Amino acid sequence: MNISKWFSRQTIYNAIAALLLIAGCVCLVLGVIAAIDWKISPALSLMGAALVLFFAATVERFETLKGLGMEAKLATLDGKIDEASRLLNQIKMVAEITGKTSLSMYAQAGRITDPPSHEEMYELIGKVKESLQSIGSSPATIQEAIQPCTRIMQHELTRAITKAMVKEIHTKQHEIRNTLGGTQTADFVNNQMREIERLEEIRLQLLHSNGLAQNSYPDNLIALLRSDSVSNFNSAGETANELEHFADQMRVLRHTGKLASPDKWFARAREAYSR
């Protein structure tokens, strides 16, 4: 009688596992098709569902499941279902982030006119941070992981704030070049060329942070804008004041991935590439 019950139960388990595997394969195929069609959100949902179905169909076959520095003992499924569920949630979280990042980078590769928005990057930073915290990563590791996105966000906000100043420098360089026509002394030409080079160095510092240490940014750029070297530019003071307004948020973003006023940041950063 016991053998009959065991056989009947095992048959049911096998049938359910087969159905779960078939459903997982269907979700995986549909997810790949959605990714090919650039439907990123449905692709991630379907691939995540496939991962869950595959795991559910095969989990009872494992005595020990290891991954991402975690271990779940599965000697009896009924006794360890809570621990397996927690592990599955963490695996799913990492898989979603990995899939979203990979698909986003692939979908937007080469689209210079359509870079990821600050809202998208900020959301991704939050998910990466939450994922790494859930598996016990150190603050230094998390800061290093989110650094590429935080630096891009910082750079593009600075680009928006310094746009008027950069334009003013470019106009000044053009005016200096116009004085080089006709008969001029060698000393005059050399002095004018040196001034053009000096202004170009400042312009690159504003646009790309050239030569500016990141651990003291944007204080070093604010100091430059308030120095005598750019005192003849009308927009220097206003640019320095606005950078100072966002300075604390820049520092906190680099270290924690958080913004105190994200909406104000996003709105100002959108102007980085506007005409």
Q: Could you read off the pLDDT of 168-225 as tens digits, one per residue?
A: 999 999 999 998 877 788 899 999 999 999 999 999 999 888 888 888 999 999 999 9
Q: Does 126 fall in a domain?
A: no
Task: Give the count of domains, the chain.
Answer: 2
Rounded to whole angstroms, the Cα distance separating 102 from 76 reads 36
**In whole angstroms, how far apart are CA 23 and each of 37, 51, 84, 94, 190?**
21, 11, 21, 22, 75
Q: The pTM is what? A: 0.61
pLDDT in tens, 101-126: 654 554 444 444 556 788 888 888 88
Q: Does 193 fall in a domain?
A: yes
Do 78 and 157 fall into the same domain? no
Q: Does 246 fall in a domain?
A: yes
pLDDT for residue 98: 63
DSSP string, 123-190: HHHHHHHHHHHHTT--HHHHHHHHHHHHHHHHHHHHHHHTHHHHHHHHHHHHHHHHTTSSS--HHHHH
Rounded to whole angstroms, the Cα distance separating 48 from 178 reads 62
Minimum mean pLDDT range among 70-84, 122-136, 201-215, 222-236: 70-84
Taking every pair of Cα atoms in the chain, the longest distance, rounded to a whole number of angstroms, is 112
Q: What range defines the domain where residue 210 resides?
A: 153-272
Q: Does 24 fall in a domain?
A: yes
- For residue 42, whether the previous peptide bond is cis, meaning omega lies within 30 degrees of 0, is no
Domain end among 77, 109, 141: 109
> Percent of the chain scored above 90 by pLDDT?
33
Q: Does 124 fall in a domain?
A: no
Judged against a pLDDT cut of 60, whether residue 232 lies above it is answered with yes
Domain end among 77, 94, 109: 109
Contact status, residue 157 vs residue 264, Cβ threshold 8 Å: no
Do 157 and 267 fall into the same domain? yes
Do 95 and 199 fall into the same domain? no
Do 103 and 159 fall into the same domain? no
